[in-house]
Structure 1
Amino acid sequence: MLPIMLQLYNLRDELAVDFEGTLQKIAALGYRYVELAGLYGKSPKEFKAGLLTAGLTAVSAHVPYRDMLADPENVMDRYIEIGCKYIVIPYLIEADRCTSPNYEGVKKEIAKLGELAKKQGAILLYHNHEFEFQSYHGKYALDDLYDSIPADLLQTEIDTCWANIGGVDPGEYILKYRGRSPVVHLKDFYLPEGLSPENMYELIGQAKQAGPNAKGGFEFRAVGYGRQDIPAILKAAEEAGASWVVVEQDLPTPGKTPLECAKDSIDYLKGLQ
């Protein structure tokens, strides 16, 4: 089994209320590594100290693309100071996607960010959603992105839920980027047959009109409790040369807390060992 990270976005509300206590609870579940999504008002020194006290290590961080553009060196430095090896572009707003006339410029800016990350001893990754699986110049927009930027400047963080919803087999898609997939997002979900997932999820900083995890609709699930073939995804990740897998669940399973879901996920994964 590859080392397991927990994406702290899963517990964003809890961390905002009780930062140190929530980190302790995460460690008590058996997690030792985390992926960041914001600093919750803490300085890098304070954040790192909280992790150290809890016995946790930061490996990667989701950092908004436009935040990095505004002050790339200082923004990256904050996360590198905490110990993050990977800096991840988590999401592109509509104005920066392949449907925008700005997109070719966006790709050039991402390449520049990759160069800066490399210079600072980190690795830039891109975390997909489902919209990158639309056609762009005869291929998936996500493939175009990776074709346009060298692997030493941009590597993958394939989100297996959105890859599945985007229409590809997650394991096969991870293997497509063998040697370029150091971090893989394990994300499970439930989707009733015949129901479209469009506009049924929440993204960082953006709430969609139709809420996810509504009764009878799309639901994020703990890893191993949804429709994903997790053993096949893990096998593909190992064969592709991944170094880490990440437990991510944007919203808790109905009737459960985020912490309970985090426990369900790691218990399931440890049960596969």
Structure 2
Amino acid sequence: MTAKIALQLYSLRKEIEKDLEGTLKQVAEMGFKYVQVDGMRGNDMYEFANLLKKYELEVVGLHIKHDRFFNDLDGILEEAYVFNCKVLYDKYIEDEDQTTDGYIKTKEALIEAASKLSTLGFSIGLHCPEYDYNNTINGRKVMQYITDPVNGIGIYAEPDTYWMSIAGHDPLKEMHYFSGRMPIVHMKDCITSLDPNDFENNLVACGDGDVDFKAIIDFGKEHGVEYFCIEQDYSKIGMFNSIERSLNHLKTLL
């Protein structure tokens, strides 16, 4: 299949707060056609959506704050229609729900959302940091537990190469479990020899660390990945510089 490169706009959260249009214009000029949206960052939702259209940036995924899946499904639906996007991710399970009861409650909420919205063509998924690749519930790792189907209803995984690495796993091996149910993969590089908690130094542009992106892309294209999505939480060389380095590296591997 033909996979595409996208950008998670969380990477540019500070820039979007200061200058939404200028930031989106620069993203388009870098060559991106596809983005994920992670919150409005103080901007009007309709203005945000109109500017994305102006710069011909298609939204291929929405990251939604965890608690909204419990108390704001109608608001999520409205946002999804405004951005013309039917792929919705719980951005991460909040700390207060990092318990057995919280995981059970989270899965129930996501399954309920999927059951209600799937008839409208929506897909629901989970993105997570490192602990959800190691914490367990009922003998299952959290990410596996959440994405295990219930009565034919499944939750998509959104594997993140950085967080899988920080969790001490080979991202490629971890992705095998989610074969066929991971339409988007977050592409973030990691220097694994550094302290796992040293986020500002161990997270680098794609190609500058230890993640084997060639193997991940080759596997992903054969197992249902539609978008390889660059995300950069921190940067010592400037966020746009890091994003451009990642983009240029991944383009050589597609």
Shared fold per TM-score greater than 0.5: yes
1:265 to 2:215 alignment:
no
Alignment of 1:67-106 (within 5 A): 67-97=68-98, 99-106=99-106
- Answer yes or no: is the 8 Å Cα contact 1:44–1:79 preserved in 2: no
Output the CA distance in 2 between the equivalents of 1:169 and 1:109: 30
1:13 to 2:10 alignment:
no
Return the letter of the residue paired with 2:108: K
Output the CA distance in 2 between the equivalents of 1:220 and 1:79: 30
Output the CA distance in 1 between the equivalents of 2:220 and 2:11: 22
Q: TM-score, normalised by structure 2?
A: 0.92
Return the letter of the residue paired with 2:250: L
Residue equivalent to 1:122: 122
Q: TM-score, normalised by structure 1?
A: 0.86
The runs of at least 4 consecutive aligned structure 1 residues that moved more than 6 Å come to: none
Output the CA distance in 2 between the equivalents of 1:139 and 1:152: 18
- Answer yes or no: is the 8 Å Cα contact 1:115–1:153 preserved in 2: no
Q: 1:151 to 1:84 in 2, by over 3 A?
A: farther
- Answer yes or no: is the 8 Å Cα contact 2:100–2:137 preserved in 1: no
Output the CA distance in 1 between the equivalents of 2:86 and 2:73: 16
Residue equivalent to 1:28: 29
- Answer yes or no: is the 8 Å Cα contact 1:90–1:128 preserved in 2: yes
Which residue among 233, 249, 258 is the counterpart of 2:216? 233
- Answer yes or no: is the 8 Å Cα contact 1:181–1:241 preserved in 2: yes
- Structural RMSD (CA): 1.9
Output the CA distance in 2 between the equivalents of 1:149 and 1:166: 27
Return the letter of the residue paired with 2:208: Y
Deviation by residue 1:127-167 (Cα, 9 ceiling, x = unmatched):
12111122332231221222254664411111111112223
Alignment of 1:1-273 (within 5 A): 2-97=3-98, 99-132=99-132, 133-147=134-148, 149=150, 152-192=153-193, 195=195, 197-198=196-197, 200=198, 212-213=199-200, 218-252=201-235, 254=236, 256-273=237-254
Output the CA distance in 2 between the equivalents of 1:102 and 1:177: 22
**Secondary structure, in 3 states, of the residue corresponding to 2:7?**
strand
Q: 1:44 to 1:152 in 2, by over 3 A?
A: farther
* Corresponding residue pairs, total: 252
- Greater shift, 182-191 or 37-46, is seen at 37-46
